[in-house]
Structure 1
Amino acid sequence: MNNLLILPIIIPLITGMVMVIIRRRIFAQRLLGILAIAGTGAVSAVLMSQITASGIQVLHLGGWEAPFGVSMAADMFSALLLLTASIVSLFCFIYAFRSIGREREKNFFYPLFLFLLTGVNGSFITGDIFNLFVCFEVMLISSYVLISIGGTRIQLRESIKYVLVNLTSSLLFLVAISYLYATLGTLNYAHLSVRVAEAGQDGLLTAISLLFLIVFSLKAGLLLFFWLPGSYSAPPTAIAAIFAALLTKVGIYSIIRMFTLVFYHDPDTHLIIGIMAALTMVLGAIGAVAYWDIKKILTYNVIVGVGFILAGLASNTSEGLTGAVYYLIHDIIIKALLFLIGGTVIAITGTAKLKDISGLIRTYPYLGWMFFVAAMSLAGIPPLSGFIGKLYITEGTFEAGYFWLGAIGLLTSLMVLYSVMKIFMNGFWGESYLDEEQEIEKKKTKGLLFPIAVLTALTIALGLGAEGIYAFTELAVESLTNPSLYIEAVLGKS
């Protein structure tokens, strides 16, 4: 039993509640937020060390053993995502100090940010599918307010769509949970895995698995992404960055967890995931290439990333899953980085339209070259972090005989490269057009470069230090490919 497991939920939750009480003390909220997120990251690092030394960590709340009580479980996959989420959240939080605006700060922005992180962390470590639903709702309720906070016209329009889609998916989630419990009599992940293996994944269970796939696809933006481009373009930069980095990733995590631990018996479900991933990559890449708006280009690249990660899962091979885990970590960092850079460019120029911008690299050389590094990493250019994940995912799809899926991944990678280089060549290259008023504005954006620089350094380190990180991803993949490790840790050896 490991009591540390509850801390990634308790720390941001309690801190957020304290922030609500001191809503007008902005400096205190900032300081508490930094300490809470850094503390959560430290706990995640300790959990990774414990998992490396002694295996999957489990906590049965109230002393009730699984499957009767509420269980929290962290394997290396969960712990890696906890740590990555904490790091990215910290720098998005710091970026908000100079960008979010005093009015939003007074209207509970910081506690809502912490409540969002509470839901994300809970989703990664819960061992029970109903508690996954609860954590989703904590995350989504916070995001409903964050997407609309400020009350601009575009925010209110997109928030209506965002809320309606997520309410629909939450209803379907409850229906899927009801059918699953009626069929198997349990909701604990490990116990579900045992029951499905005993019963055999027949037509009814396959239908239930596809219902869960629809639910999580709505959350992740896998094929059912019609709501995503507008919703992620509407809020301020710090909010859009954390949405792009984490919200879709919780959906991806849920799909990977369910289809490696519970519903892994029917190969047809993995083929369906592969087809959905391919269509997602193609449609997302077409959107990224077609638009000349910075926000839209970046949001469509979020969609492409979702498809690419789940192509690794669809291959159902060790190489594919290794690539999916590694690329998932990379994608959390790189999407936050790109959204922060894109938002900074918009703050400088006052527009998201590429055709109205040029020559920024002359005045902002550091920003320009950091965007170039991020663009190369996103496209999978070696030796940056995107290359390693794409290499393993492509190998996995080829090994599984899904040559069409690997080829689509490579083709859409070229389209992604074109889309981000379009931003670089049109926005940063060429003659500078900044006037004196915009030169003054430059002084107001200096505090925004620090979190961008740190995340840029991280994506470089993730690529150059791939050998050191591989040991952790190997442990993560071991638990994903061998469900018995998770089952024995949670239920005990029979």
Structure 2
Amino acid sequence: MNILLVLPVVIPLTTLLLGLLVKRHHAWVSFISLAGSLALLAAGVWLVMLAAQGVVLSGQMANWAAPYGISLVIDRLSAVMVAITGVIGLATLVYAHRQPMPADFLRDVHLFVQGLLAGICGAFITADVFNLYVWFEVLLIGSFALIALGGGERRLAGAMTYLVLNMLATLMFLLAAGLVYGSTGTLNMGELALIFRADQATSGAWLGVMLMLMSFAVKAALFPLFGWLPASYHVAWTPVSALFAGLLTKVGVYALIRMVTLLWPEPGMVHTVLLWVACATMIIGVLGAAAQTEVRRILSFHIVSQVGYMVLGLALATPLALAGAVFYLIHHIVVKANLFFVGGVAARLTGSERLAAMGGLYASKPLLAVLFAIPALSLAGIPPLSGFWAKFVLVKASLDAGVWIATFFALLTGIFTLLSMSKIWNESFLKAHPQPEQLGVAGDGPRGAWLTMIVLAAITVLIGFGAGPVMEYAVASAEQLVEAPAYLQLIERGGE
């Protein structure tokens, strides 16, 4: 089996193991973790370059033939998801480097982040439902530990909310996998695709898959199953919440996109349900953000809202809409993580995350104002930034499909998003600080944090101005999602 297939998982797991071996030496843990994250990014870029040339990697662990062995597939979508996971993982650790926190705390952050990255990448490359469940478990363990890290009543309360609801979703997933296996005799995604595409699925298989999609919907924070996210993300340490904001819900979205396109390449009942769920998610999320008065709680509700756009592309099920969903995934991961990073620095400088207690940042830190404006305007869909092109493609796809209600909610959500970002801008940057003598007392923070925000803002601008190549990649990714050549060929050739 091509070694490239396992690199996205082997690199963070090896990094975690090496970090555990030298955990008494905090500086070594930090160095190893940063080096491992850089290696994961390099592997992801390599995979994207291969995928852009039409290379699809697939194989079986230990050469056990499909559908009995563990199948792995890296196509265009999974390759870019691994690459962007490397970007956000490295950005998180660079941002966290030299932050004024206890050495043991920072060491544990590095170790748990590597475990989390392994779980995320494993979910992106697996072609087997049970192993997807395993990687979700790895994700749950690492993410719960990161939320709870540091303790405190508020943080532990948020961590428990996160754990309980995500554990229920994971148990639902396990039950669903059992139903699907009992009804079909397989959990291989390629073989399931052949069964469902041939309309040979039993009622038990349908019930199992529906439960599976519901568990993915919880992980993706779709309406009405999103309440755990705004109740938990804002309590974590800022770099951790930025990592979560960028990546965790996207694992659920990825699983939804992968399973729905595999089993139902043509529009049907499932797509109709997803359409209404997507519209409700967009508008309820953005209205929830409008009611909040803390920066990270506002941004947390916007995660929910923006997930609706991605699922809208899946629900419309046209090639252009699927390409828009892929484009939106790429754009949103970078933008949302950066907004949380900027929010953390703003809270440090002003001494609070409450909008009423913030202010004065435009005059005192103009660079930070620019670094907020770029992802904020991109999130709202202002041209020529990445968010504009992502929204434009989805709106055009909905118009082409004649789904006017989707167009209406997409545009309305964009307007409300702009208003919400304007509220943060006015309160945090334009107005005077209520206690000017307290502004900037805590200092600017480590240079790594500023470097992280600058690089992510630059990526957002580059995606906007380089939308053509990104869109070409997204269109080719959408074609692979529907045709699923690697998933189906693993079954046809018996895993050879």
TM-score class, shorter: over 0.9
Superposition pairs for residues 398-437 of structure 1, below 5 Å? 398-432=399-433, 435-436=436-437
The answer to which of 194-203 and 317-326 deviates more is: 194-203
* One-letter amino acid of the counterpart of residue 74, structure 2: A
* One-letter amino acid of the counterpart of residue 105, structure 1: F
TM-score of the pair, normalised by structure 2: 0.95
394 and 204 in structure 1: CA distance in 2 versus 1, 3 angstrom threshold: farther
For residue 344 of structure 1, report the CA deviation from its aligned partner. 1.1
266 and 381 in structure 1: CA distance in 2 versus 1, 3 angstrom threshold: closer
Deviations 1:38-92 (A, max 9, x none): 1112112222232333531112111122112111101100001110111111111
In the alignment, the residues of structure 2 paired with residue 445 and residue 44 of structure 1 have an alpha-carbon distance, to the nearest angstrom, of 27
- Tell me which residue corresponds to 2:190: 190
In the alignment, the residues of structure 1 paired with residue 10 and residue 335 of structure 2 have an alpha-carbon distance, to the nearest angstrom, of 27
Paired residues of 2:320 and 2:475 also in contact (CA < 8 A): no
1:89 maps to 2:103? no
- Tell me which residue corresponds to 2:371: 370
Paired residues of 2:26 and 2:104 also in contact (CA < 8 A): no
Paired residues of 1:3 and 1:59 also in contact (CA < 8 A): no
Paired residues of 2:267 and 2:317 also in contact (CA < 8 A): no
Fraction of identical pairs, as percent: 33
For residue 445 of structure 1, report the CA deviation from its aligned partner. 5.0
Superposition pairs for residues 13-24 of structure 1, below 5 Å? 13-24=13-24
For residue 106 of structure 1, report the CA deviation from its aligned partner. 5.5
In the alignment, the residues of structure 1 paired with residue 424 and residue 143 of structure 2 have an alpha-carbon distance, to the nearest angstrom, of 28
SS class of match (1:24) = coil
- Tell me which residue corresponds to 2:440: 439
TM-score of the pair, normalised by structure 1: 0.96
In the alignment, the residues of structure 2 paired with residue 491 and residue 179 of structure 1 have an alpha-carbon distance, to the nearest angstrom, of 24
For residue 400 of structure 1, report the CA deviation from its aligned partner. 2.6
In the alignment, the residues of structure 2 paired with residue 422 and residue 106 of structure 1 have an alpha-carbon distance, to the nearest angstrom, of 33
For residue 261 of structure 1, report the CA deviation from its aligned partner. 0.6
- Tell me which residue corresponds to 1:245: 246
Paired residues of 1:302 and 1:335 also in contact (CA < 8 A): yes
Paired residues of 1:222 and 1:276 also in contact (CA < 8 A): yes
In the alignment, the residues of structure 2 paired with residue 53 and residue 283 of structure 1 have an alpha-carbon distance, to the nearest angstrom, of 40
Paired residues of 2:130 and 2:177 also in contact (CA < 8 A): yes
Paired residues of 1:71 and 1:127 also in contact (CA < 8 A): yes
In the alignment, the residues of structure 2 paired with residue 490 and residue 221 of structure 1 have an alpha-carbon distance, to the nearest angstrom, of 32
In the alignment, the residues of structure 2 paired with residue 484 and residue 33 of structure 1 have an alpha-carbon distance, to the nearest angstrom, of 35
- Tell me which residue corresponds to 1:120: 120
- Tell me which residue corresponds to 2:98: 98
Paired residues of 2:73 and 2:126 also in contact (CA < 8 A): yes
The answer to which of 190-199 and 456-465 deviates more is: 190-199
SS class of match (2:151) = coil
* One-letter amino acid of the counterpart of residue 28, structure 1: W
Paired residues of 2:95 and 2:449 also in contact (CA < 8 A): yes
- Tell me which residue corresponds to 1:327: 328
- Tell me which residue corresponds to 1:109: 109
The answer to which of 56-65 and 375-384 deviates more is: 56-65
For residue 266 of structure 1, report the CA deviation from its aligned partner. 6.3
Mind listing any 5+ residue stretches in structure 2 that lack a counterpart? Answer: none
* One-letter amino acid of the counterpart of residue 382, structure 1: P
Superposition pairs for residues 41-440 of structure 1, below 5 Å? 41-99=41-99, 101-105=101-105, 108-201=108-201, 203-223=203-223, 224-264=225-265, 267-432=268-433, 435-436=436-437, 438-440=439-441
Paired residues of 2:26 and 2:103 also in contact (CA < 8 A): no
For residue 233 of structure 1, report the CA deviation from its aligned partner. 0.6
- Tell me which residue corresponds to 1:451: 452
For residue 351 of structure 1, report the CA deviation from its aligned partner. 1.1
Paired residues of 1:191 and 1:491 also in contact (CA < 8 A): no
In the alignment, the residues of structure 2 paired with residue 50 and residue 25 of structure 1 have an alpha-carbon distance, to the nearest angstrom, of 38
Paired residues of 2:338 and 2:457 also in contact (CA < 8 A): yes
153 and 411 in structure 1: CA distance in 2 versus 1, 3 angstrom threshold: same
- Tell me which residue corresponds to 1:465: 466
Paired residues of 2:73 and 2:486 also in contact (CA < 8 A): no
In the alignment, the residues of structure 2 paired with residue 52 and residue 310 of structure 1 have an alpha-carbon distance, to the nearest angstrom, of 24
SS class of match (1:442) = coil
Mind listing any 5+ residue stretches in structure 1 that lack a counterpart? Answer: none
Deviations 1:419-461 (A, max 9, x none): 0110011110133556455434224454421100110000000
Paired residues of 1:322 and 1:389 also in contact (CA < 8 A): no
In the alignment, the residues of structure 2 paired with residue 336 and residue 485 of structure 1 have an alpha-carbon distance, to the nearest angstrom, of 31
In the alignment, the residues of structure 1 paired with residue 103 and residue 147 of structure 2 have an alpha-carbon distance, to the nearest angstrom, of 15
Aligned residues: 494
For residue 26 of structure 1, report the CA deviation from its aligned partner. 2.1
Paired residues of 2:358 and 2:434 also in contact (CA < 8 A): yes
477 and 95 in structure 1: CA distance in 2 versus 1, 3 angstrom threshold: same
In the alignment, the residues of structure 2 paired with residue 232 and residue 214 of structure 1 have an alpha-carbon distance, to the nearest angstrom, of 21
In the alignment, the residues of structure 2 paired with residue 128 and residue 384 of structure 1 have an alpha-carbon distance, to the nearest angstrom, of 36
In the alignment, the residues of structure 2 paired with residue 464 and residue 201 of structure 1 have an alpha-carbon distance, to the nearest angstrom, of 45
In the alignment, the residues of structure 1 paired with residue 52 and residue 489 of structure 2 have an alpha-carbon distance, to the nearest angstrom, of 16
350 and 439 in structure 1: CA distance in 2 versus 1, 3 angstrom threshold: closer
416 and 490 in structure 1: CA distance in 2 versus 1, 3 angstrom threshold: farther
312 and 298 in structure 1: CA distance in 2 versus 1, 3 angstrom threshold: same
320 and 29 in structure 1: CA distance in 2 versus 1, 3 angstrom threshold: same
In the alignment, the residues of structure 1 paired with residue 102 and residue 458 of structure 2 have an alpha-carbon distance, to the nearest angstrom, of 29
The answer to which of 471-480 and 418-427 deviates more is: 471-480
65 and 52 in structure 1: CA distance in 2 versus 1, 3 angstrom threshold: farther
For residue 265 of structure 1, report the CA deviation from its aligned partner. 5.5
For residue 399 of structure 1, report the CA deviation from its aligned partner. 2.5
For residue 232 of structure 1, report the CA deviation from its aligned partner. 0.4
The answer to which of 120-129 and 21-30 deviates more is: 21-30
Paired residues of 2:294 and 2:354 also in contact (CA < 8 A): yes
In the alignment, the residues of structure 2 paired with residue 397 and residue 208 of structure 1 have an alpha-carbon distance, to the nearest angstrom, of 30
In the alignment, the residues of structure 1 paired with residue 422 and residue 137 of structure 2 have an alpha-carbon distance, to the nearest angstrom, of 37
In the alignment, the residues of structure 2 paired with residue 64 and residue 439 of structure 1 have an alpha-carbon distance, to the nearest angstrom, of 59
* One-letter amino acid of the counterpart of residue 415, structure 1: F
The answer to which of 240-249 and 61-70 deviates more is: 61-70
